[in-house]
Structure 1
Amino acid sequence: MKNWEFLKSSLIAGALLLFITGVNAQESSESVVRTANDKELQWGPCPEFMPKGCQIAILNGNPARENSDILFKVPANSAIPNHNHTSAERIILLSGEMDITYEGEKTQTLKTGSYAYGPAKKPHIAKCGSAGECILFIAFEEPVDAFAIQK
């Protein structure tokens, strides 16, 4: 059963990459300035295991390659299930308040403007608080992916 869940998560992550690569793949040789409310952003769905209303927008780079920047948005009071990424992630919370717990570590609370670093392949969970939707800037070193972890 675990192999099926891993395969299913891999297929979902692959489909997400294909979607967001087709939606907004760019590797810019020019400067880029965006806000979370930019009308030019093209928001797409998150993998199925993420909470309802979750969306992703590519800011810069090709998510199927190294060094992509994304915006990740979830509604207030959303729980983000246990998952990991192939890549390390560098995060800045742009709005809302979020608790994040990396496996084996204590829960940390991110407030607007907080920075967080998540090591590659380290499982973690998160919860967007009641202060409003959470929007995160996330920089990935490797291709963008997310894999659900079933325990």
Structure 2
Amino acid sequence: MRLRQSCCLVLFLACLAPDARAGEMVMATGDDAVQWRAAPPSLPTGSEISIIAGDPDKPGPFTLRLRFPPNYVIAPHTHATDESVTLLSGTLVHDMGKTIDASRGQSLRPGAFL
């Protein structure tokens, strides 16, 4: 994925684990309710993360918000669990494959879901 401008993504990652917390409700009423912090070192400098629900370090579903700096390229990778992405702001060029090819990809705008 290539990010053309600074963008904010919501990621929902889920795995089927016996101790997944079901039935818990989390409500975030706006950006003021979201706690941002520096993202882990595996993401580019300037990235920010907010854990909305769940715990990414434990089995079970969790939801994150991520902010990436402009023009960041996410290297090809895989996930061990399902992933859903909603683009909140900015532009995201999404492509699938084992290598990065700038001639491919679909440009996504806010509200896009994959």
Q: TM-score by structure 1 length?
A: 0.49
Deviation at 1:96, TM superposition (A): 0.5
Taking the aligned partners of 1:70 and 1:37, their CA distance within structure 2 comes to 13
- Runs of 5+ consecutive residues of structure 1 not aligned to the other structure: 1-26, 117-151
Q: Is the 8 A contact 1:96 1:111 kept in 2?
A: yes
Give SS of 1:66's match: coil
In the alignment, is residue 67 of structure 1 matched against residue 61 of structure 2? yes
Deviation at 1:35, TM superposition (A): 5.3
Taking the aligned partners of 2:71 and 2:31, their CA distance within structure 1 comes to 21
Bigger fraction of residues in helix: 1
Q: TM-score by structure 2 length?
A: 0.62
Taking the aligned partners of 1:56 and 1:80, their CA distance within structure 2 comes to 15
- How large is the Cα RMSD of the aligned pairs? 2.5
Match of 1:108 in 2: 106
1:76 to 1:92, Cα distance in 2 relative to 1, 3 A:
same
Taking the aligned partners of 1:85 and 1:36, their CA distance within structure 2 comes to 28
- Higher RCO (CA < 8 A, seq sep 6+): 2
How many residue pairs match? The answer is: 89
Deviation at 1:81, TM superposition (A): 2.4
